[in-house]
Amino acid sequence: MGAKGFFRGLTDRTQSASQHAGAGLPSNAILPGNTTARLGILEDFEKAGFGWLWASDPEGRLIYISESATQSTGREPVEMLGKHLTELFETDPDNPDERSDRPFKFQLSARSRIVDLAVRFALGKSKHEAKQTWWSFSAQPILDGAGSFKGYRGIAKDITTEYERKLVDSRMAEFDSLTGLANRHRMANRLDSLLATYVAAKRSCAVMMLDLDRFKHVNDTLGHQAGDELLKQVADRLHHVVLDRGEIGRLGGDEFQIILPDTDDRGSLGELADKIIQVLSQPYPLNGERATIGASVGIAIAPYDGLDREDVVHSADLALYVAKNGGRGQFRFYTTNLKDRAEERRILMEDLREALAGDALELHYQPIVRVEDNMVIGFEALMRWEHPERGSVSPALFIPIAEESNLIIELGEWALQRACREAAQLPRSVTIAVNVSALQFTHPGFPEMVANAITQSGLEPERLELELTESVFMGDSESIDQTFKALKQLGVRLALDDFGTGYSSLSYLRSAPFDKIKVDKSFVDTCTQKDLNSAKIIAAIIGLSNALGMHVVVEGVEAFDQLGVVKDMGARYIQGWIYSKALAIETVRERLSSGEFCIEPDGPEQYRSDRRTVFRRIGIIHEDHRYAGVLRDISRTGARVEGLLGVPEGTELVLDLGSGQLAVCSVIRSRDAMIGVEFETPLVNDGEGGLCTRHRVSPYALAAAGMPLEALPAGNYPMQMIKGSGDSQSKPQFVEVKTPGG
């Protein structure tokens, strides 16, 4: 039905042109009352293709559309009639001209006038299709004499070409032209909008800041074109990891940002960050070359680490800075003491430099044992530092500090020379393994450094084993291959440490001349858990090494249940506390004085999560009372706390670990003022070898309990928040005692 037939029924008023005869008008003039002539003009308008006429009924169903609309939609009018307008058209959230969050459906339900609204033809079309059609809609609501809504009458036109041009212009303003990711401007607007909404809704939002490690090296060695291609591949990998959990942006250079709405689970965030780091650390094919980079990640969560964009991004940036300075290839959560920690690291680095210059460092040696007869066949040299004021400083702390300042080159040379010199005094039946950092390995003089250590000590080259991690492959592939060749010409052995934790270990085995694989401790820690595949992975690694003619050492075995599993999986060589911790050189010499060193395994029957010794003031909450206590040690599943007398086993408590970290637990051991507790929810990795709760108590909850809406210092939580009601106070049931130093 054409315009003439449809619109004739819209008016019952007709007037004859003859009524106006003699008024001085042209004979062919069409007067307003001449309905037939007016409908003819409408039909001419439709045929000319300037636009289309349309109409809907009161329920919003399309009851008329110009036939010429077929050319734009590819659908016959009869296929569209009777369908609801929202089924046929939709507004585009990325419309550069439409900033309203109100969808097309809302605007129709308002029954107000519609003027030049851009909509996408949606019937049978996917928004992911290359060719899409956009219309400009204008319409007037029609009311009858009683004021009842009778539907819309309107016009529409195809604006696809103009609209796509605006989309391109808008995309250039908000998206990175190289990677297609959101740019800094869009990410800032997005985060501003989210946080403004979330403050009112009391929701959380996580922000990750990412920085690529060694990207400048790729640009300098392979050229800027290769660097651009690498950034594109990084963007693709981030998409595959993040998926629809958040929005990814490139802020400039090699800096990226990820916004993760409604996320505050630090366990999941840590897992995601770790996966991002591992995926981005895989080799990149670039114009026939292979480039390997790394990534560091800083994480902040609103509202805990800030309430507006500036504060949250600053917190994530500071966490990223600490992650990069912690040795790169790591993630960090923001904490309020990061600034203090940075100053502490600077002081520790100066102390380390003095310790190296003053020969205050030592090497201890952990045995590697042959399972079949418990004989020691080699040792791994591990660095030890006894600080005059701090006491024993963990290598996990001072090695990353050394790498940060390039002191690792000098430190590594010292360890290599000391290990070779001390190993030369041991029986020829044992080997010595020395850890080599990526920075040390890629140093131009490294092969010569190894040769000098061998020559000066008189150690047989085949007794020296260099332990490398996958991070050594982050340099230039050609220079890496040359270093491997030079080392093998010296006759030393090469071992790939922490095997299985990366994504591309198999490619390394194919391209590098390793003699040994070391299974990472993380698989051993969980090998007895039935719901994980760690035992199967260990078996697969052992089978692979046997097929390649390599030895394999399983690291980190501490308990008999773990020993049984790895032996069943085919392990022949083991390194772990069940046999021995690292020993001083004097002890090693004494035990090897007879020429042989046999160690019987000794340890707990079952492995339990690593328990870290600490000394930290915390709060202990029971019912509506908060007591002061001291945390003595902590693991993923429990802790030992001192400070309360008379706490029966089975008592439910909440440990206030500070900064909104409240851990629900129950007492499983109680003796005098010392209690052992088991957490209801296991703690998670905080990115730097420590532990934290998965979730924190929101400042919104604190505000609801009468506290200011901001992250509060440790130990400042109202009891109403814990108990749910502060109307009454019961008598304290336990006696708080002052602990030494507490």
- pLDDT per residue over 179-233, tens digit each? 999 999 999 999 998 998 887 778 899 999 999 988 888 888 788 899 999 999 9
Q: Are residues 675 and 629 in the same domain?
A: yes
Answer with the one of 336, 370, 405 that is the final residue of a domain: 336
Task: For residue 132, give the CATH number of its domain.
Answer: 3.30.450.20
Task: For residue 672, give the CATH number of its domain.
Answer: 2.40.10
Q: Is the pLDDT of residue 23 over 70?
A: no
Check residue 32 and give its pLDDT: 61
Q: Determine the average pLDDT of the residues in 688-713.
A: 64
Which of 330-344, 548-562, 632-646 is predicted least confidently?
A: 330-344
Q: Are residues 546 and 431 in the same domain?
A: yes
Q: How far is Cα 409 from Cα 413, in angstroms, rounded to an integer?
A: 6
Q: How far is Cα 317 from Cα 324, in angstroms, rounded to an integer?
A: 11
Q: Are residues 84 and 206 in the same domain?
A: no
Q: Are residues 153 and 232 in the same domain?
A: no
User: What is the tens place of the pLDDT at every residue in 490-521?
Assistant: 999 999 988 766 545 566 677 778 999 999 88
Asked if residue 350 is part of any domain, the answer here is no
Q: Determine the average pLDDT of the residues in 393-407.
A: 82
Q: Determine the average pLDDT of the residues in 581-593.
A: 93
Query: Bigger pLDDT: 104 or 292?
Result: 292
CB atoms within 10 A of CB 44: 11
Q: Are residues 406 and 450 in the same domain?
A: yes
SS3 370: strand
Asked if residue 341 is part of any domain, the answer here is no
Kindly indicate the confidence band of residue 476, based on its pLDDT and cuts at 50, 70 and 90.
Answer: low
Asked if residue 184 is part of any domain, the answer here is yes
Answer with the one of 591, 624, 654 that is the final residue of a domain: 591
User: What is the tens place of the pLDDT at every residue in 589-619?
Assistant: 999 987 778 999 998 888 876 677 777 888 8
Select the highest-mean-pLDDT range: 63-77, 171-185, 562-576. 562-576
Q: Is the pLDDT of residue 54 over 70?
A: yes
- Pick from 177, 253, 160, 250: nearest CA to 215: 253
Q: Which two tokens stand for residue 495?
A: 């071992």
Q: Determine the average pLDDT of the residues in 167-181.
A: 79
Q: Is the pLDDT of residue 573 over 80?
A: yes
Asked if residue 626 is part of any domain, the answer here is yes
Q: Are residues 210 and 251 in the same domain?
A: yes
Q: Are residues 239 and 128 in the same domain?
A: no
Q: Are residues 500 and 407 in the same domain?
A: yes
Task: For residue 480, give the CATH number of its domain.
Answer: 3.20.20.450
Check residue 399 and give its pLDDT: 87
Q: Which residues contact 8 (CB under 8 A, 6 or more apart)?
A: 35, 39
Which residue type occupies 326?
Answer: G
Check residue 583 and give its pLDDT: 95
Select the highest-mean-pLDDT range: 13-17, 109-113, 178-182. 178-182
Which of 258-262, 316-320, 525-529, 600-604 is predicted least confidently?
A: 525-529
CA distances from 709 to 10, 202, 369, 382 (A): 60, 11, 57, 48
Query: Bigger pLDDT: 208 or 437?
Result: 208
Q: How far is Cα 57 from Cα 79, in angstroms, rounded to an integer?
A: 17
HSE, side-chain direction, 13 A CA sphere, residue 231: 25
Q: Which residues contact 441 (CB under 8 A, 6 or more apart)?
A: 468, 472, 475, 480, 483
Check residue 548 and give its pLDDT: 86
Query: Bigger pLDDT: 638 or 728?
Result: 638
Name the percent of the chain lying above pLDDT 90. 41
Asked if residue 491 is part of any domain, the answer here is yes
Q: Is the pLDDT of residue 691 over 80?
A: yes
Asked if residue 9 is part of any domain, the answer here is no
Which of 100-114, 119-133, 146-160, 545-559 is predicted least confidently?
A: 119-133
Whether residue 619 contacts residue 626, with contact meaning beta carbons closer than 8 Å, is answered with yes
Answer with the one of 167, 185, 215 that is the final residue of a domain: 167
Q: Are residues 580 and 724 in the same domain?
A: no
DSSP class of residue 61 equals B
Q: How far is Cα 416 from Cα 87, in angstroms, rounded to an integer?
A: 73
Check residue 73 and give its pLDDT: 75
Q: What is the mean pLDDT of the chain?
A: 83
Q: Are residues 414 and 554 in the same domain?
A: yes
Name the percent of the chain lying above pLDDT 70. 83
Check residue 716 and give its pLDDT: 42
Q: DSSP readout, 532-576?
A: S-HHHHHHHHHHHHHHTT-EEEEE---SHHHHHHHHHTT--EEES
Whether residue 534 contacts residue 554, with contact meaning beta carbons closer than 8 Å, is answered with no
Q: Is the pLDDT of residue 449 over 80?
A: yes
Q: Determine the average pLDDT of the residues in 328-348.
A: 80
User: What is the tens place of the pLDDT at every residue in 85-98?
Assistant: 888 888 765 555 55
Q: Are residues 195 and 307 in the same domain?
A: yes
Check residue 720 and give its pLDDT: 44
Q: Is the pLDDT of residue 15 over 80?
A: no
Check residue 390 and give its pLDDT: 80
Q: Are residues 476 and 521 in the same domain?
A: yes
Check residue 444 and give its pLDDT: 87
| Range(s) of the domain holding residue 297 | 175-336
SS3 621: strand
Number of domains composing the chain: 4
Which of 251-255, 345-349, 670-674, 691-695 is predicted least confidently?
A: 345-349
Asked if residue 722 is part of any domain, the answer here is yes
CA distances from 67 to 43, 53, 152, 161, 199 (A): 10, 9, 18, 21, 50
